[in-house]
Structure 1
């Protein structure tokens, strides 16, 4: 092959690479907590295994300051999409933040209620007078905790709820300065790994608790439906792989998130907890789809207990248009 022909081949290759790069749509996704948390494993797997790229997306992850901040940043266009809970839109739309869920990452709720097994607590009713940790008072897990407490006729003033953040919950549960927590599966695994036996009950057993959700603004959905569809499809693809083989998914995940490289067994344990307690479907809805009846139950509780300023139409809080 002569030099001129080689030059043509090289130029063609550069042109093709440039066209491929141009075909990628930049997408910013905002997490409500550090992106290395195993709760966000489906996103890291979808990114690391190239599923977003296959959908024509160049995804950048960023971290917000909790769920309320994510909802705000997504609503005003500072991020294209973000992470919340299935009922986040019910809480924030009344405040003028026009966001909605575009995918629900599981048929169960992500919030788990756990208490130290050495505290003589045998059920929710025994939490009266106890100290309970939550990530923050603007986080959906806090609202879920209030709903669970109400099932035992307990109110906010009947317990000592402390906003501690993820690290604070783990440290205080291990140290024994709090009796219980409302949080996610990976915090439970970390506490148990420190030798603290816990009793765990999903909030879903008491209330229409929701799983994680991908949220986007009404404007972004209207203007970029194919971007939303590509992102949702790629993320759900990763979830199905975790369900099918948690052990392999854990090995792949630590390859993309090296800080967990020494914790493969614990990551696998966490993923199995997600498969059982979060991703498992309720009925015959496909993973990703919202259940309007469950959302209505959640909203009715929030309104009755004055946890939201006003009710919004449940149909405005979600869309199942991107779920296949």
Structure 2
């Protein structure tokens, strides 16, 4: 009997053979790169995993650093300046055609991370009304910027038809509150902060335009091949923390506040934000699919990006992700 060994089955065999590490071995040290400041509530699952000892249980010790956006994370992971990091489900399709061999290894929810949020006073009734508006993103190397380009393209709006400013994580909220921006590509905590400051908002879901994706854990093909136990351990710890966040947002918000000093005294606010994430981002049907990439969805997003000249070429869909580390 002959057995056809594909690249995917070879990867699975390698992971199965090497992912179990002896309990007595020294912790495996690695560098984890965030796409934005790690204190943001978007990264609550990471802090929950850290505080509850889920990384330690996998015998992993992480040094954390911050890049300016998910695309920059992918670049640094690809060249070996970081071992693993955070991005979006779309990140690999943006960088892989440029020779950066990075793929997603876990998807943190089935819904889009971002929404388009505008000040109600800006008079944006539909996404087509974004033409001529001032819009903010945290950086031009962030996947949120590419999501904005996709939204504009879907509504027949050219990049030059709007004023897009790179304002950083703090600027997106501050400038909306100051009424210096008409809208932003927003995550849950930014919308919450703006509304808490008394600014009325309108919300536009990106997935009404194209199937945008949630946060993802990204790793290089090299690290996946050479250190599968590290990748598998990070994925397992993060997924355990993500399930905790879905099951008990209140306790996870408390752990986050305890772990991040700048949020002391903001327990109620952080719980409110986390509940938004649970409903708007992490929600997955069926629940057993949590963490997994859908190749059909990846193909659809990539085709949309290619058609609208957001990426110059397409990568094979099977090179964009791996579900091999999910159990």
Shift of 1:42: 0.6
Q: Residue in 2 aligned with 1:219?
A: 222
Pairing 1:178-197 to 2, within 5 Å after superposition:
178-197=181-200
Q: Residue in 2 aligned with 1:121?
A: 124
2:172 pairs with 1:169: yes
Which runs of 5 or more residues in structure 1 are unaligned?
A: 1-18
C-alpha deviations, 1:178-219, integer Å up to 9, x for none? 111112111111111111111122212221111111000101
Q: 1:313 aligns with which of 282, 300, 316?
A: 316
Compare 58-67 and 74-83 and name the one that shifted more.
58-67
Shift of 1:261: 1.1
Q: Residue in 2 aligned with 1:204?
A: 207
User: Residues of 2 paired with 1:248 and 1:79: CA distance?
Assistant: 31
Q: Residue in 2 aligned with 1:270?
A: 273
Q: 2:250 aligns with which of 228, 231, 247?
A: 247
Shift of 1:313: 0.5
User: Residues of 2 paired with 1:259 and 1:178: CA distance?
Assistant: 26
Pairing 1:1-324 to 2, within 5 Å after superposition:
22-282=25-285, 286-324=289-327
Tell me the secondary structure at the aligned position of residue 147 of structure 1.
helix
**Does structure 2 conserve the Cα–Cα contact (< 8 Å) formed by 1:135 and 1:183?**
no
1:55–1:103 Cα change, 3 Å: same
Shift of 1:225: 1.3
1:118–1:264 Cα change, 3 Å: same
C-alpha deviations, 1:134-186, integer Å up to 9, x for none? 11222211111122223332222222222111111111100111111112111
Shift of 1:114: 0.3
1:34–1:21 Cα change, 3 Å: farther
Tell me the secondary structure at the aligned position of residue 297 of structure 1.
helix
User: Residues of 2 paired with 1:189 and 1:21: CA distance?
Assistant: 45
1:321–1:20 Cα change, 3 Å: closer
User: Residues of 2 paired with 1:256 and 1:262: CA distance?
Assistant: 12
**Does structure 2 conserve the Cα–Cα contact (< 8 Å) formed by 1:46 and 1:238?**
yes
Which runs of 5 or more residues in structure 2 are unaligned?
A: 1-21
User: Residues of 2 paired with 1:27 and 1:204: CA distance?
Assistant: 34
**Does structure 2 conserve the Cα–Cα contact (< 8 Å) formed by 1:202 and 1:277?**
no
User: Residues of 2 paired with 1:20 and 1:107: CA distance?
Assistant: 34
C-alpha deviations, 1:225-274, integer Å up to 9, x for none? 12211110110111111111111111111011121012111111110111
Shift of 1:300: 0.9
TM-score between both structures, scaled by the size of structure 1:
0.90
1:106–1:32 Cα change, 3 Å: same
Aligned length: 306
1:285–1:146 Cα change, 3 Å: farther
Tell me the secondary structure at the aligned position of residue 190 of structure 1.
helix
